[in-house]
Amino acid sequence: MTITPPAINSLTPPPTSHAQGWPGLIEAYRPYLPVTDQTPVVTLKEGNTPLIPVPTIAAEIGRQVQVFVKYDGLNPTGSFKDRGMTLAISKAKEAGAQAVICASTGNTSAAAAAYARRGGMRAFVLIPDGYVALGKLAQALLYGAEVLAIQGNFDRALEIVREMAENYPVTLVNSVNPYRLEGQKTAAFEVVDVLGDAPDWLCIPTGNAGNITAYWMGFCQYHAEERCRRLPRMMGFQAAGSAPLVTGEAVAAPETIATAIRIGNPANWQRAIAVKEASQGQFNAVTDAEILTAYRMLAAQEGIFCEPASAASVAGMLKVKDQIPTGATIVCVLTGNGLKDPDTAIQHSNNPFKAGISPNLQEVAQVMGF
Ligand SMILES: *Cc1c(COP(=O)(O)O)cnc(C)c1O
């Protein structure tokens, strides 16, 4: 018997207002964002990233809890930075800018380059020489950024680009640009739109503390509009070698395998403290070993490949698991895609591949253990 497929024209369009597909976050959340009809929207259809349950990680907590990851590594350039960049670049274009500049541990430069080029602008990026993951550098170069590697760390690079933007015709698109946080807050909207309310905890890797500030803005705005009933506790996690928000002191020479959060003097320090206090949250540190354990668990048990910095949210949640109330709903933010940093994946997989096998069935079967 043959099965006849339905005729195409008998299909009804999907029951969504986005029959043309997801419109990108500026169109999706336009009433909540500082744009007008005059704003030229520069978009790569960022946002609308999945909230994925992670049951084997939830089981580690030993009580009945629900844990989800917000997989923002599925944005167009592979990190949440796209959320801020669509708005920052659209507003820069609206203001007539011809060039943008940023300091970056990598992901900001990839996002700035992609959106600036799409918007017809030049993109200058300052990176700390030798401390940017391979995939991110590859992106910035191919997207057409003008990449300047400086012999200093991220904090020094940020000081320089701030001065550049004050003295030269270039628009700063680091997270001190207020439009960045406005765009990034949409991730909190998406979490609430899926869960129907805010989670009890929001666990998030914290470097410059722009993203934790943006999420809190988003939850508060939705709360004020009565789109959620509760507000989460904001739990920020830093790498132990780079944890100024935990120790209360800037770190002159930050060190961690999680290069995206290798930041000793966060640009949004005061805001981060305000978020912690308003949400009854905390900042805690996780070691590189704890980060790598969570990184491997996410990939090998849940099928989710994130970059090392992103795994700090899951590592941190597990570290403070004794504080989690039974029945809680927790969202851990996975800020970037694992493909950004293939070197770390290969060096730390604990899973060496078997090389040098002769191309013969018996030998292959024997190596497989049959
Ligand atoms: C930028 C970035 C962070 C840190 O975000 P902040 O807003 O600086 O706190 C964390 N993870 C990844 C993958 C990033 O690119």
Instruction: Kindly write down the DSSP assignment for every residue of 184-199, as one continuous string.
Output: HTHHHHHHHHHHSS--
The tens digit of pLDDT for each residue in 231-242 reads 999 999 999 999
For 116, 313, 343, the CA distances from 170, given in Å and listed in that order, are 12, 34, 33
Average pLDDT over residues 263-278: 96
Give the distance between the most distant pair of CA atoms in the chain.
75
- Whether residue 11 is predicted with pLDDT greater than 70 in this model: the reply is no
Q: If you measure from the C-alpha of residue 73 to the centroid of ligand 1, how many angstroms do you get, rounded to a whole number?
A: 11
pTM confidence score: 0.93
10 burial (CB, 10 Å; 0-12 / 13-18 / 19+) is: exposed
Q: Both tokens of residue 308? A: 């090392």
Nearest CA to ligand 1 atom 2: 260
Residue 228 is classified by DSSP as -
The tens digit of pLDDT for each residue in 145-194 reads 999 999 998 889 999 999 999 999 999 999 899 999 999 999 999 999 99
- Whether residue 280 is predicted with pLDDT greater than 90 in this model: the reply is yes
Q: If you measure from the C-alpha of residue 81 to the centroid of ligand 1, how many angstroms do you get, rounded to a whole number?
A: 8
- Whether residue 224 is predicted with pLDDT greater than 70 in this model: the reply is yes
Q: If you measure from the C-alpha of residue 182 to the centroid of ligand 1, how many angstroms do you get, rounded to a whole number?
A: 15
Nearest CA to ligand 1 atom 13: 336
Out of 69, 79, 154, 176, mutate this one to test ligand 1's pocket (max ligand atoms within 8 Å of CB): namely 79
Residue corresponding to tokens 């309310």: 197
Ligand 1 pocket, CB under 6 A: 79, 81, 107, 175, 205-211, 260-261, 307, 309-310, 335-336
Calculate what percentage of the chain has a pLDDT beyond 70: 95
Q: If you measure from the C-alpha of residue 335 to the centroid of ligand 1, how many angstroms do you get, rounded to a whole number?
A: 6
Out of 203, 208, 271, 295, mutate this one to test ligand 1's pocket (max ligand atoms within 8 Å of CB): namely 208
Average pLDDT over residues 195-222: 98
Per the model's pLDDT, the better-predicted residue between 14 and 162 turns out to be 162
Q: Both tokens of residue 95? A: 């203001």
Give the Cα separation of 268 and 111 in Å (integer).
20
Cβ-contact 308, 295 below 8 angstroms? yes
User: Which of the four pLDDT bands, split at 50, 70 and 90, describes residue 296?
Assistant: very high
* Beta strand pairing call for 329-334 and 66-71: parallel
Q: What pLDDT is recorded for position 2?
A: 61
Nearest CA to ligand 1 atom 1: 260
Residue 263 CA: nearest ligand 1 atom is 8
- List the Cα angle 179/29/81 in 5-degree steps: 45
Residue corresponding to tokens 């989460």: 232
Give the Cα separation of 74 and 335 in Å (integer).
9
Cβ-contact 71, 305 below 8 angstroms? no
SS3 call for 205: strand
Q: If you measure from the C-alpha of residue 14 to the centroid of ligand 1, how many angstroms do you get, rounded to a whole number?
A: 35
Give the Cα separation of 111 and 123 in Å (integer).
10
The tens digit of pLDDT for each residue in 57-113 reads 999 999 999 999 999 999 999 999 999 999 999 999 999 999 999 999 899 999 999
Nearest CA to ligand 1 atom 15: 107
Sheet architecture: strand order including 122-128:
146-150, 122-128, 99-103, 171-172
Please provide the average confidence, as pLDDT, over all residues in the chain. Answer: 94
Candidate from 148-157, 193-202, 211-220 with smallest mean pLDDT: 148-157
